[in-house]
A and B are shown apart, each in its own frame.
Chain A
Amino acid sequence: MKKLLSVMMVMAFALSMLAGCGGGATESTGAGSADAGSVFRIGAIGPATGAAAIYGSAVKNGAQIAIDEINENGGINGAQIEYNFQDDVHDAEKSKNAYNTLKDWGMQMLLGTVTTTPCLSVAPLAVQDNTFMITPSASSPDVLVGPNVFQVCFTDPNQGSKSAEYIAENKLATKIGIIYNSADVYSTGIKDKFVEEAKAKGLEIVSDEAFTEDSKTDFTTQLKAAQDGGAELVFLPIYYQEASIILKQAKKDMGYSPIFFGVDGMDGILTVENFDTSLAEGVMLLTPFAADSDDEAVQSFVQKYQEQYGDVPNQFAADAYDGIYAIKEAAEKAGVTPDMSAQEICDAMVAVMPEINIKGLTGGDEGLQWSDTGEVNKQPKAVVIKDGKYESME
């Protein structure tokens, strides 16, 4: 009998909890319908905690700056924007939960998700619900599963081939070593295309070494392979955290200093804690955004970012900023109003997306344009780290 009572108590507890959630939900949707017609609700998803947190925070902050600017200048079609960022811990399942949370909140457009793997699980949901989605930085071409999904960043294959082209055209090296993360979609995507393009351009790959999520603290084997192969340039299509360890082990412990060449994941290396930034001197990376650019918009963005968050924005922040402006541009062109449903807004915005052209922070001189498949068209910039700062390479 005692057991029965305890079970009943547990059930009562569970039910009250469920009822609590249920109540919360109706409240929030109720609030949504009350507010509808006065504000646009833009949701964002990214990792705010965990190993990839720096990207999520950058996107969160970059988008916040864009939204503050737009709200100050009168909003989209005269309506203010409300912004909600949800954490997904760089996990596909959590990302789905984050998406549903935003849906409960009454999201009308989605900026996200920041990283690729979670994006692969969220994109089909956005397609199913017909919600406008633009990802600032999920770079795999596989995320573009429907007509309402767009990207602000380059696709992985694009980065791989552009890197190989750049190295070959500027004759940076002929013997190349690669260290990549075989457990990461982003890293393998770039690496595969890079190898293909490098062969076509007559570059010689002397070592091609992988690591995984479980072995990302020691890279001496991979570096040794590159050194033994006589690599003049080591291509690192990986995120900056592992790159910082590679740089330290190569330059400090092994005394091996070839040219290190990275892609946009390398962006952020100067902000790694306890990392001696002098080790990053001479590292080259291909990124669409350089914080030292003399472009007026970039300067004002960098200044605002530094004032509010204390460090120099990276490419992810810039992509998020551009993503928000892309939403604004498309929303204005399509003439959507906040009282429309997410579906109506989506249909209207998807139709005008291929027609818009925004200057943006990452677009260079030609600006950003989108194809109807959702891919962006923009030019990459190569930067080199000099005196602890990015400097554009000509």
Chain B
Amino acid sequence: MAKLNIKKMNKNFRGQLITYAMVIIAFVVMQILIASGSVSYLLQGLMVPLCIYSIVAVGLNLCVGYLGELSLGHAGFMCVGAFSSAFFTKCMLNTGMNETVRFLLALVIGTLTAALFGYLIGIPVLRLRGDYLAIVTLAFGEIIKNVINVLYIGRDSRGFHFSMKDATALGLEEDGEVIVNGAKGIMRIPSQSTFLIGVILLLIALFICFQLVNSRSGRAIMAIRDNRIAAESVGINITGYKLLAFTISAAIAGAGGVLYAHNLATLTAQPANFGYNMSIMILVFVVLGGMGSFRGSVIAAVLLTMIPEILRGLADYRMLIYSIILIAMMLFNWSPKFVAFRQAQMEKLFGKKKKEAV
């Protein structure tokens, strides 16, 4: 009976349920394994980064898969979310504020700041199309990173001080504290990101994305992607919907950034973590998982983040093997020949099962 109900359900809705179930089951299984002590510290430590990259990949998929615009600057939005939330946390550190409340507020602040930046950047950028947009977002991502590298913010009894030169130019009093220290970034941030929070955020991100793409706005966004002129001709507000999707996408990346900032005790804006390499890495998750498939993004992000760590045993060869695996996975997933082969195998397997059942 239950099976029948599932079958009757809207195909879209079933897909959503499967995705949520997948995340929740993975979480429960991992929690049980961790509780029973059979998971390595490495894997335990990886849980939060896995959530972070899944969240950001889901956010980017909204932009790339549904809006159809290639963004190469999502690491920049992560960076904004990370720094604004870490800044808030540092400011509130000694005020005796409840830790959970502080973290939730940091989360809201990081997400909103990233959304604001996404909105502001979206206004000029979304007037461009295709490759141009990709290049401009790439530039914005780099600008954000470089500005943070020369930004110095300190606080003393007279209030906040800003400088773009160096920490001594802040002119702090004796009791002053440098909060954002240019290239040194923000140090000694309390580690508050947990697996549970990560999974909850991932579920929220998935929920928002699914709701959006299945709503009236979502259909408008996809109409713009598929045929801009046709969409315009039926009176869809192109810029408005584009901005909506881009801002939400940036906000989700910002939430990932908040988790990132509160996972490590130190936060610096370096090419390795917030540079364009990271933006491209996230794009790889999206492309490998399938544009427009949020579930695919999550699976790809989890696999590709875990593989280099699992290959640690191979020492010097691991990055080499990693790239080969990446190529193989891309071929397996997206090469037309492979797809056909996979489907044929699938049918064989499926057919056999049916026969057995009968």
Contact = CB atoms under 8 A, between A and B. Distances in A.
A322 to B, nearest CB: 25
Contact of B40 (A10, A15, A24, A214): A24
A91 B272 contact: yes
A213 B45 contact: no
Given A10-B299, A120-B266, A22 B33 contact: yes
Contacts of A21: 39-40, 42-43, 310
B312 A214 contact: no
Interface string A95-123: 01111110110000000000001001101
A22 B40 contact: yes
Interface in B268-324: 268, 270-273, 275, 295, 299, 302-303, 306, 309-310, 312, 315-316, 318-319
24 contacts: A5-B350, A6-B346, A11-B25, A14-B302, A18-B30, A22-B40, A23-B38, A24-B40, A28-B40, A91-B272, A92-B264, A92-B266, A92-B268, A93-B49, A101-B41, A101-B309, A104-B40, A117-B266, A124-B191, A145-B188, A182-B149, A188-B166, A213-B271, A214-B271
B217 interface: no
Contacts of B236: none
Contacts of B325: none
Interface string B183-221: 110011001000000000000000000000000000000
B331 interface: no
Interface stretch (A82-90, A243-251, A295-303): A82-90
Given A14-B299, A14-B302, A97-B45, A25 B264 contact: no
Interface of B: 15, 18, 22, 25-26, 29-30, 33, 38-46, 49, 142, 146, 149-150, 166-168, 182-184, 187-188, 191, 263-266, 268, 270-273, 275, 295, 299, 302-303, 306, 309-310, 312, 315-316, 318-319, 346, 349-350
Given A101-B312, A121-B266, 4 more contacts: A48-B315, A92-B273, A182-B149, A183-B270
B41 A103 contact: yes
A69 interface: no
A98 B318 CA distance: 14
Nearest to A89: B272
Contacts of B315: 48, 87
Contact of B273 (A93, A100, A185, A196): A93
Nearest to A185: B184
A3 interface: yes
Contacts of B188: 124, 145
Contact of A22 (B18, B43, B266): B43
A contact residues, range: 35 or more
Given A93-B49, A101-B312, A213-B270, A185 B40 contact: no
A63 to B, nearest CB: 16
A14 B27 CA distance: 12
Interface in A5-38: 5-7, 10-11, 14-15, 17-18, 21-26, 28-29
A171 interface: no
B245 to A, nearest CB: 25
B157 to A, nearest CB: 23
Interface in A61-97: 86-87, 89-93, 96-97
A387 interface: no
A100 B42 contact: yes
A265 B345 CA distance: 57
B316 A196 contact: no
Contacts of B43: 18, 21-22, 25
Nearest to A15: B29
Interface string A45-73: 00011000000000000000000000000
B269 to A, nearest CB: 8
A96 B168 contact: no
A184 interface: yes
A91 B41 contact: no
A87 B319 CA distance: 11
A149 to B, nearest CB: 12
A89 B318 CA distance: 12
Which secondary structure characterizes the binding site on chain A? helix
Contacts of A123: 265
Interface string A179-192: 00111110011001
Contacts of A142: 184, 187
A213 B25 CA distance: 42
A332 B138 CA distance: 55
Nearest to B33: A22
A332 to B, nearest CB: 29
Contacts of A7: 18, 22, 295
Contacts of A29: 40
Nearest to A125: B265
A22 B30 CA distance: 10
Contacts of A185: 183-184, 268
Contacts of B183: 181-185, 188, 212
A117 B149 CA distance: 14
Residue among A11, A90, A192 having the largest count of chain B Cβ atoms under 10 Å: A11
A97 B309 contact: yes
Interface in A155-203: 181-185, 188-189, 192, 196
Contacts of A184: 183
B149 A100 contact: no
B44 A100 contact: yes
B55 to A, nearest CB: 15
B150 A182 contact: yes
Contacts of A15: 29
Nearest to A140: B184
Residue among B40, B44, B312 having the largest count of chain A Cβ atoms under 10 Å: B40
Contacts of B39: 18, 21-22, 25
A182 B270 CA distance: 11
A30 to B, nearest CB: 11
Nearest to A27: B40
Nearest to A120: B266
B270 A25 contact: no
Residue among B49, B183, B263, B315 having the largest count of chain A Cβ atoms under 10 Å: B183
A189 B266 CA distance: 16
B270 A124 contact: no
3 interchain residue pairs of minimum CB distance: A25-B40, A120-B266, A100-B41
Contacts of B191: 124
B166 A101 contact: no
Contacts of A188: 166, 182-184
Contacts of B26: 11, 14
Contacts of A25: 38-43
